[in-house]
Amino acid sequence: MTASVAHRELVERELMILSAIYRRDQAVMTALMAPDGFGVDPDFGHKRHPDLIENITTAEIEHWGASNFQVSWLTSDAYVIAYELSQKGAYRGEQLPEHMACSTVWWRAQTGWQALMHQESHADR
């Protein structure tokens, strides 16, 4: 797989996860997120993927978008994606920040590419 093909595929997978999160689709999230992975967010801290998936049903999203993707190779089986996220909605009754800087580490598992770690930071514009 060439780097540009891997980049396209990983951006598509990142968009699939985001879409699943905002639709509260736990099945797609489970398929694309490594079971031993985790997320780090300034609003909810450090959470294991199973906890994030279980609690996603409390999200209420009006709209979202992702842009300015950057993909960097780490190893032949690991990449990191960084991008800007805009969103409007609430999680567990709390308003979500509208602008976030995000990154996700993807690794190639036996079942295909999975998100291993996701991080978000507030990004004031």
Both tokens assigned to 24: 């509260």
Which CATH code for domain 3-122? 3.10.450.50
**pTM for this model (two decimals):** 0.90
pLDDT by residue for the chain (125 residues), tens only, comes to 556 767 898 999 999 999 999 899 999 999 999 999 999 988 778 899 999 898 888 888 999 999 999 999 999 899 999 999 999 998 878 898 999 999 999 999 998 999 999 999 999 76
Q: Tell which residue, 5, 58, 51, has the closest CA to residue 29.
A: 51
Q: How far is CA 89 from the centre of its chain?
A: 16
What is d(CA 16, CA 11) in angstroms, rounded to the nearest whole number? 9
Domain regions of the chain by residue span: 3-122
Report H helices in the chain. Answer: 3-23, 26-32, 49-55
